[in-house]
Structure 1
Amino acid sequence: MELSKLIANCNVISIKGDEKTDVSAITSDSRQVKPGSLFVAVEGICTDGHSYIGKAIEEGASVIVYDKPLIDEFFSRVTYIQVENSAIALAMIASQWYGNPSAHLKLVGVTGTNGKTTVATLLYEMFRRQGYASGLLSTVCNYVNGEKFPTTHTTLDPVTLNRFLRMMVDAGCEYAFMEVSSHAIHQKRVYGLKFAGGIFTNLTQDHLDYHKNMQEYRDVKKSFFDDLPSDAFALTNIDDKNGLFMIQNTQAKKYTYSLKNMADFKARIFEKHFEGTDIEINGKPLTVRFVGLFNVYNLLAVYGASILLGLNEEDVLRTLTVVKPVAGRFQTIRSPKGFTAIIDYAHTPDALINVLNAIHDVLEKKGNIITVVGCGGNRDKTKRPIMAREAYRLSNKVIFTSDNPRFEEPQDILNDMLAGLSEDERRDVLTIADRREAIKTACALAKPGDVVLIAGKGHEDYQEIRGVKHHFDDKEEVEKLFFGN
């Protein structure tokens, strides 16, 4: 593609070289450069792409896009494009390269601390079940209609993201649903995409290893709604204290959902059990296969978005009665010994509280809760003592263990968690760094009628230790203990 077309929507400061040159590939990763590539130098969290401009040119890059002053010499065979913001330029170039695919889809973004995966995945399933070709970009997996692709990030980089959207358009998809993380919004990974709608789930503490404070985290989320066009919808949870704040400056059409207040989409809960929940949505009764207040909010968001996208209400309600929880989200496994194990991705204080409260609601003090929980390494350390305290408060027995320690020592993470408890409380807690042993111990302690909650990793099938991913799946470990193999 001709360079001038690729940069047509970029805020260009200067051009040195031939803007009519033909570009054979685009990338922001110098390792993927091949002859004729356009390389965008973006400053990241750990590395700065400007440091790799020389390597990109050595590998044959014919165009360099950058936003910082260059001190190296300019090569006559290379065209240099200085832009105002490289991250934004990358997003715009990626969209242009793939023919602006988001403009040919009804693309819906889901943002918030918890519930993104469930809402986006259930919307994908909803539309597929109604006969619409659809795509999904999520933490668990990416789908182009029925074709499955593994995932690495909650929200992909702009080039991969637009490539997937183009694949969806080419596969005949009419709808696409995606999780939109605060990192992605802040790093301009979704910049320039045309969204048909945005959904806000909730906001609680997370990612303070990345954002300076909760206000910045909140404001970044809000900016997603600020950028929605006037022909889009903005659907928000008004039971969350930030729900109305998110949509106060959006140009999109505003809609609300709630269990406690007057709203466009309203639900009530009647009966809770481990197989599901009896609820009512906008006056229509139904039984769903999901457990917990937080899941009713998720289903309500799915219902609201489905209606706003034009689906028939009766078809939506019927589908909500048959869809199942997403992998690793309140996934129940019944032990032959009469207790229940629950695998859940809860890795924030609020998510952990939600899951434990949901278990309490169903148990009604007729059994004990044994919780196995850890915290990830090289992530927000401030939430470790909070998660430990809430796990202790809402469980009958707690085992602290390893999650993904990454480049931290597991014992250091456990010590941070233990700091949230008093000396007396620490005596009641078991700390077993080996996650397999921790799960085994919890199941050995459980009696008929009890619940073993294994929190933090959910769908993940690995444990990341010192940069290496080792195969480890909480669900597999439980099934081995219960059924052998």
Structure 2
Amino acid sequence: MKAKKLIQKCKVIDIHGDVDIDIKGITSDSRQVKPGFLFIAVEGICTDGHAYIGKAIEQEATLIVYDKPMIEEYFSKATYVRVENSAVALAQIAAAWYGNPSKHLTLVGVTGTNGKTTVATLLYNMVRAMGHSAGLLSTVANYVNDERYPTTHTTLDPILLNEFLRKMVDAGCEYAFMEVSSHAIHQKRVYGLHFEGGIFTNLTQDHLDYHKNMLEYRNVKKSFFDDLPASSFALSNYDDKNGSVMLQNTKAEQYFYSLKTVVDFKGRIVEKHFDGTYIEFSNKPLVVQFVGVFNVYNLLAVYAGALLLGFDRDEVLRVLTLLKPVAGRFQTIRSPRNITAIVDYAHTPDALTNVLNAIHEVLNKRGQVITVVGCGGNRDKTKRPIMAREAVRLSDRVVFTSDNPRFEDPQEILNDMLNGLTEEEKSAVISILDRREAIKTAYALAKPGDVILIAGKGHEDYQEIKGVKHHFDDKEVVDELMNKLAN
């Protein structure tokens, strides 16, 4: 593809060299540069691509896109295009390279602190169940129709993202659903994509290791809706205190869903059980295979989103009754000893509170709640004492353990959690660094009728320690433990 076509939509400040040249590939990673490539220098969180321009030139990149003043010694060795913002240019060039695939799909983005994975995945599952071709980009996995691809980030970088969207188009997909993280919005990874709709789930504390404060975090999320075109829809949770704020400046058609107020899409909970919930959506009764108020909100968002995409209401309600929870999201495992274990991805204070409240709503004081929980390393430290307090407040016994310590000392993470507790509260806590032993201890403490919540990792099948991912699956450990003790 010609360079001048790739940079056509970029805000170019200056050009040194010829842009009427053929480009053989694009990358923002200097290690991937090959002869004839276009290299985009982007300033990241840990490294600045501008520092690797020399390496890209050595590897025979023929065009460099950048946004900082550069030393002119390189100008004779390649074509240089200075743009206003490299991150934006990366998204624009990636879209152009892959033929603007988002314009050939009905693309829906889901953002919020909690519920993104569930809402995006269930929309994908629903559309597939109705016989339509579709793709999914999520924290758990990426799908092009039924073909599964592993994932590394909630939202991919612009090149990989557009590559996946192109795969979907080439595979004949009509629809695509994706999680949109605050990091991705802030880093312009989804810039320029054509969204048919955007869905907001909720906003609670998370990622304050990245964002300066909750206001900035909220405003980054809000900017996703600000950028939606007038031809799209914007669907928001009216019951969240930021639900209305999210849509204040959007040009898209606005819609709200609620369990408390009569809005565009109204839901109601009738009965709660561990194997499902009896609900009403728009005065239509149905039984779903999900537990907890938070999950009913997720399902209501799915229901509303499907109707806004033009699907038949009765068919949507029928498929809702068939949908199953996403891997690692309130996954229930029953023991022969009449002990219930629940594996959930809850890794924020609000998510942990929601899951524990959901357990209490069903358990109704007929047993005890034992919680196994930790906090991830190299992430928002301010939420650690809050999660500890919520776990103790809403559990009868708590076992603190390692999550993904990454490059932090696991004991220091536990100390941060314990520092949020009073001496009396600490008496209800057992600290066991080894996660497998922590789960075994919780099971040993449980009696018939009790519930064990294993929170934080959900679908993950690894534990990251000092940069190495070791195989570890909470559900697998629980299954092995229950089978062993049953025999």
> How does the TM-score come out when normalised to structure 2?
0.99
Counterpart amino acid of residue 228 in structure 1: L
Q: CA deviation at 1:77?
A: 3.5
The aligned counterpart of 2:468 is 468
Structural mapping, 1:376-415, within 5 Å? 376-415=376-415
Query: Deviations 1:49-101 (Å, cap 9, x if unpaired)?
Result: 00111111111211100001112612424000000000000000000000000
Counterpart amino acid of residue 36 in structure 1: G
The aligned counterpart of 1:212 is 212
Query: Deviations 1:155-191 (Å, cap 9, x if unpaired)?
Result: 0000000000000000000100000000000000000
Counterpart amino acid of residue 269 in structure 1: I
Q: Which moved more, 1:72-81 or 1:287-296?
A: 72-81
Query: Deviations 1:426-483 (Å, cap 9, x if unpaired)?
Result: 1221000110000000011111100000000000000000011000000000001011
Counterpart amino acid of residue 296 in structure 1: V
Structural mapping, 1:193-208, within 5 Å? 193-208=193-208
Counterpart amino acid of residue 49 in structure 1: G
The aligned counterpart of 2:369 is 369
The aligned counterpart of 1:319 is 319
Q: Secondary structure at the match of 1:81?
A: strand
The aligned counterpart of 2:237 is 237
CA distance in 1: counterparts of 2:266 and 2:132, whole angstroms: 26
Query: Deviations 1:302-338 (Å, cap 9, x if unpaired)?
Result: 0001000010001100000010000000000001111
Match status 1:157 vs 2:174? no
CA distance in 2: counterparts of 1:226 and 1:241, whole angstroms: 18
CA distance in 2: counterparts of 1:72 and 1:118, whole angstroms: 50
Q: Percent identity?
A: 74
TM-aligned CA distance change 1:406 to 1:72, over 3 Å: farther
Match status 1:59 vs 2:59? yes
Match status 1:78 vs 2:91? no
The aligned counterpart of 1:226 is 226
Counterpart amino acid of residue 214 in structure 2: M
The aligned counterpart of 2:416 is 416
Q: Secondary structure at the match of 1:73?
A: helix
CA distance in 2: counterparts of 1:316 and 1:73, whole angstroms: 62
Match status 1:437 vs 2:437? yes
The aligned counterpart of 1:91 is 91
Counterpart amino acid of residue 382 in structure 1: T
The aligned counterpart of 2:49 is 49
CA distance in 2: counterparts of 1:85 and 1:2, whole angstroms: 21
CA distance in 2: counterparts of 1:360 and 1:417, whole angstroms: 23
Counterpart amino acid of residue 166 in structure 2: R
Match status 1:34 vs 2:4? no
CA distance in 2: counterparts of 1:379 and 1:387, whole angstroms: 13
The answer to whether the 8 Å contact 2:16/2:75 transfers is no
CA distance in 2: counterparts of 1:340 and 1:195, whole angstroms: 41
Alignment gaps of 5+ in structure 1: none
The aligned counterpart of 1:179 is 179
Structural mapping, 1:442-453, within 5 Å? 442-453=442-453
Query: Deviations 1:111-152 (Å, cap 9, x if unpaired)?
Result: 000000000000000111111100000000000011100000
CA distance in 2: counterparts of 1:354 and 1:232, whole angstroms: 31
Match status 1:2 vs 2:8? no
The aligned counterpart of 1:246 is 246
Query: Deviations 1:20-50 (Å, cap 9, x if unpaired)?
Result: 0110000001111111110000000001000
Alignment gaps of 5+ in structure 2: none
Counterpart amino acid of residue 403 in structure 1: D
Q: Secondary structure at the match of 2:73?
A: coil
CA distance in 2: counterparts of 1:397 and 1:34, whole angstroms: 57
CA distance in 1: counterparts of 2:13 and 2:469, whole angstroms: 43
The answer to whether the 8 Å contact 2:396/2:428 transfers is no
The aligned counterpart of 2:19 is 19
CA distance in 1: counterparts of 2:307 and 2:71, whole angstroms: 55
Counterpart amino acid of residue 375 in structure 2: C
CA distance in 2: counterparts of 1:94 and 1:428, whole angstroms: 52
Query: Deviations 1:196-230 (Å, cap 9, x if unpaired)?
Result: 00000000000000000000000000000000000
CA distance in 2: counterparts of 1:244 and 1:393, whole angstroms: 30
Counterpart amino acid of residue 76 in structure 2: S
Match status 1:356 vs 2:353? no
RMSD: 0.8
Q: Secondary structure at the match of 2:199?
A: strand
Match status 1:331 vs 2:316? no
Counterpart amino acid of residue 235 in structure 2: L
CA distance in 1: counterparts of 2:476 and 2:330, whole angstroms: 15
